[in-house]
Amino acid sequence: MAMARRVPRNVLGLVKRNMSFKSLDPPSSLTHGIHVFHCPDAVGIVAKLSDCIASRGGNILAADVFVPENKHVFYSRSDFVFDPVKWPRVQMEEDFLKLSQTFKAIRSVVRVPALDPKYKIAVLASKQDHCLVDLLHGWQDGRLPVDITCVISNHHRGSNTHVIRFLERHGIPYHYLCTTKENKREGEILQLVQNTDILVLARYMQILSGNFLRSYGNDIINIHHGLLPSFKGGNPSKQAFEAGVKLIGATSHFVTEELDAGPIIEQMVERVSHRDNLQSFVQKSENLEKQCLSKAIRSYCELRVLPYEEKRTVVF
Contact at 8 Å (CB) between 136 and 119?
no
- Evaluate if residue 152 carries a pLDDT over 60: yes
* Architecture field, domain 119-315: 3-Layer(aba) Sandwich (3.40)
List the chain domain ranges: 4-111, 119-315
Catalytic position from the list 79, 134, 197, 260: 260
Helix (H) or strand (E) run with residue 63 in it: strand 59-66
DSSP label of 193? T
Contact at 8 Å (CB) between 41 and 73?
yes
Contact at 8 Å (CB) between 100 and 37?
yes
- Residue 309 sits at the vertex; the CA angle it makes with 66 and 194, to the nearest 5 degrees, is 105
199 C-beta neighbours (distance < 10 Å), count: 23
pLDDT digits (tens, 9 = 90+) for 135-149: 999 999 999 999 999
Catalytic status, residue 197:
no
Contact at 8 Å (CB) between 153 and 126?
yes
CATH code of the region 4-111: 3.30.70.260
Q: What is the pTM of this model?
A: 0.88
191 C-beta neighbours (distance < 10 Å), count: 9
- Evaluate if residue 13 carries a pLDDT over 50: no
pLDDT digits (tens, 9 = 90+) for 277-316: 999 999 999 999 999 999 999 999 999 999 999 899 999 9
pLDDT at 22: 54
Contact at 8 Å (CB) between 304 and 76?
no
